[in-house]
Chains A and B, each alone.
Chain A
């Protein structure tokens, strides 16, 4: 009986090897394996956030933005001789009357604003020497706050705009010269 077991003993590895060479049966879509990732608690709203500048020229407008996900300051010079400052903060309702305040190395000022669609505060002013001065103040860096009744918005840190911002200011100057 022992000699009868020998062929099976020899054949078994061969059969297993052949089976291994066959292609696997078609499977359904590969299942996604979950990846362990630490849960992140949602951070509390900070009292001050630091924004980052970006600049653009769109048609007859010069646009700049200091952006952070908690608050954004927009500057639009033009069309014509107008300047608009806007502050947006996601999830905050706008108030009827607001005030945009700036404190920086260059100076400090406040602009009366109003609530707008999708914007917490909107202040429009003529593009004159005073407005040009405010834009230059902002480009020099400082802090922007919005004062509105019943609305809490983090103070927005405005960094020095650097050479890109000072070059962009040329666009504002050209508008003012027209």
Chain B
């Protein structure tokens, strides 16, 4: 999802680029959490690269030390979360000559960079007068119908969000779903307030300290992998001790006062505890809604079911649409039959171009995998086949799947390797089977990546939010498309991969769950999905670290979609 370039955003962008054009050395891009500093930094990176400037962008300040030494020809250094930089790294960046440096952080960063000449560029929340135009652009960009949002709802959104774009985006998406769940055509102020109430129950996904800077420097992060000129350092919270559960907070993107390291050390436990609170709170809230509004029978909260009940439900077959609302739906169940723990496996088969025998073998392999329940597309001819058959996987979690595919394909001689991809990362679960010409010598290809003895950092799981576990959605929601939302600790472009499985529905034969949607999310925390068939679904989000070649799956969440309008 492209950011919405409001006036303050554009002014900040222009100011930083102007600083660069004038030959200034340091620009400090400062602003509170959620105003879009990270997205602006990425836009600045693109603008500088378009001018053929050698750019080094660091996503976390605490991974900055020594980074410049690794890339001595850098002309523009962009550092996100610069308030997490250690003193040595900050000094190294600030005093480097011949390099334009953009330091991005919370306003407290200003004090730490005071010793060096710099330009301060502030990115602030939207003024109330600009919120309507921002919302209109946002809705247009996310496929939401802008005419559904009433003026009062817009005012409510502006007030509750304080003009913070991240909060605006979240509340907007949630308010639309509130409306969808009651089959309301208009998204009204009450939907915004309901969304805000539920939002207040959510754990803080991306807490950013507003108070103390990270002094002294935080502990060294685990090793990170370099990808092009972008270094991604993992958050320092991985090995943190558990902390007390987070209490429901008011509508804010800020965390309670404390040091940055304390805040981050609480993150994993807070997410787990917050998830429980979210689910309990959401269930209670929805139950209350059900009792309070008997005129909206479409939106009900099914009773929690046990795995046995779920199996019984599946044995009975899917409920007809008329009974969807009243029939207990399935529980939140990662253990539902047929749903995988790992990513959905999809096999890509290639064969040497012009070799008919290899093409036939590829087609036979695709058919055999399909019969075994593994998704495999039609084989692709390639110009640069390997010298011998190869089986590659692209995320460390997929190695076992690659071994299974090798066995199914009769490719015992091919040891699965962690494949190398120069461009866009494949989706999680991708296995590539590259067939070769028997007896022929192929051209040299990119070699596999070495298997690390200590695999990199696995990203924390996302917390699915909408649709909530066990929800029964109306036909109206189906026809408009379903805007799925979740909370990710590191919400960034390409962070999240969404999987939706169709479990069964009226008029569909019983069978294993099948893929209804699977793709990298367009926005870090939401995805519009169109599901044409009524029935039962399960969905989840995989958080992906392309640098570490790791992913983490959230639990499956179930929902029932009503019949499409006739």
Contact = CB atoms under 8 A, between A and B. Distances in A.
Nearest to A59: B528
A34 B519 CA distance: 46
A173 B378 CA distance: 9
Given A59-B528, A169-B377, A164 B98 contact: no
Contact of A163 (B97, B394, B529): B394
A130 B528 CA distance: 29
B432 A140 contact: no
A69 interface: yes
Nearest to A171: B519
B522 A52 contact: no
Nearest to B431: A163
B225 interface: no
Interface string A80-109: 000000000000000000000000011000
B528 A52 contact: no
Interface in B550-565: none
Given A163-B392, A167-B346, A136 B23 contact: no
Contacts of B119: 32
Interface residues of B, number: 52
B288 interface: no
Given A40-B52, A164-B425, A167-B426, A60 B530 contact: yes
Contacts of B350: 166
Query: At the interface, is chain B mostly helix, strand, loop or mixed?
Result: loop
Contacts of A36: 23, 98
A57 B519 contact: yes
Contacts of A160: 382-384
B250 to A, nearest CB: 34
Interface string B452-495: 00000000000000000000000000000100000000000000
A159 B348 CA distance: 18
A37 B75 contact: yes
A35 B529 contact: no
A35 B424 CA distance: 35
B381 interface: yes
A34 B421 contact: no
Contacts of B22: 32, 34
Interface in B349-408: 350, 353, 375, 377-378, 380-384, 392, 394
Contact of B24 (A32, A140, A166, A173): A32
A35 B98 contact: yes
A12 interface: no
B424 A164 contact: yes
Interface of B: 19, 22-25, 50-52, 75, 97-100, 114, 116-119, 143, 346, 348, 350, 353, 375, 377-378, 380-384, 392, 394, 419, 421-427, 430, 432, 481, 517-520, 522, 528-530
Which 4 residue pairs across A and B have the least CB separation, nearest first? A57-B519, A34-B23, A30-B117, A32-B24
